[in-house]
């Protein structure tokens, strides 16, 4: 079902160490993206792994629901956050946002997004 390369390691600690050595983390704690965790993310938004969430033509990049779910798991997000994550990824890829500018800059631009929780009564 999933198409990303699967890497089998002895345990979670070995996996975390491997991710650090690959440069796949910003040195913050990381959660191994197991198939079960990835599928749980996808289930909550009812998306198939190969569903394209973002396309960045200038970079020749396509980000599928599976790739976004993998990164969401690694960041330690709960599945209930995934709808917000997918919406945020879609929003920054909208042409009016102009993602190419900050991603092509050499001045160290960073994108910050603030999500306010709606008050439910």
pLDDT at 36: 94
Q: Using one digit for the tens of pLDDT, what is the confidence trace for 79-110? A: 999 999 999 999 988 888 888 777 777 777 78
> What rounded mean pLDDT belongs to the chain?
87
Closest CA to 2 of 44, 57, 41, 31: 41
Q: Can you name the residues that pair with 49 across neighbouring β-strands?
A: none
4 within domain boundaries: no
As for how many domains the chain has, the answer is 1
Q: How many C-beta neighbours within 10 Å does residue 119 have?
A: 5
111 within domain boundaries: no
For residue 111, pLDDT over 90 is answered with no
121 within domain boundaries: no
Separation of CA 86 from chain center? 8
60 within domain boundaries: yes
Structure tokens at 80: 């209930």
What pTM was computed for the model?
0.78
80 within domain boundaries: yes
88 within domain boundaries: yes
Structure tokens at 90: 């879609």
Q: Domain of residue 27: give its range.
A: 12-104
pLDDT at 69: 97
Query: What is the pLDDT averaged over residues 60-89?
Result: 93
66-105: b or e for each residue (b if 16 or more CB lie within 10 Å)? bbbbbbbbbbebebebbeebbeebeeeeeeeeebeeeeee
55 within domain boundaries: yes
pLDDT band at 121 (very low <50, low <70, confident <90, very high): low
90 within domain boundaries: yes
pLDDT-above-90 percentage for the chain? 39
User: How many whole angstroms separate alpha carbon 33 and alpha carbon 37?
Assistant: 6
pLDDT band at 4 (very low <50, low <70, confident <90, very high): confident
């Amino acid at each position: 079902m999933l198409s990303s390369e699967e890497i089998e390691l002895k345990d979670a600690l070995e996996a975390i160490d491997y991710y650090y050595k690959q440069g796949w983390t910003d040195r913050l704690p990381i959660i191994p993206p197991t198939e079960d965790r990835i599928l749980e993310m996808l289930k909550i938004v009812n998306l198939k792994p190969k569903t394209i969430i973002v396309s960045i033509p200038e970079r020749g990049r396509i980000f599928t629901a599976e790739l976004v779910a993998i990164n969401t798991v690694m960041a330690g997000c709960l599945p209930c956050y995934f709808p917000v994550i997918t919406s945020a990824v879609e929003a920054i890829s909208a042409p009016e946002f102009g993602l190419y500018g900050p991603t092509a800059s050499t001045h160290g631009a960073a994108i910050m997004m603030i999500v306010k929780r709606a008050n439910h009564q």
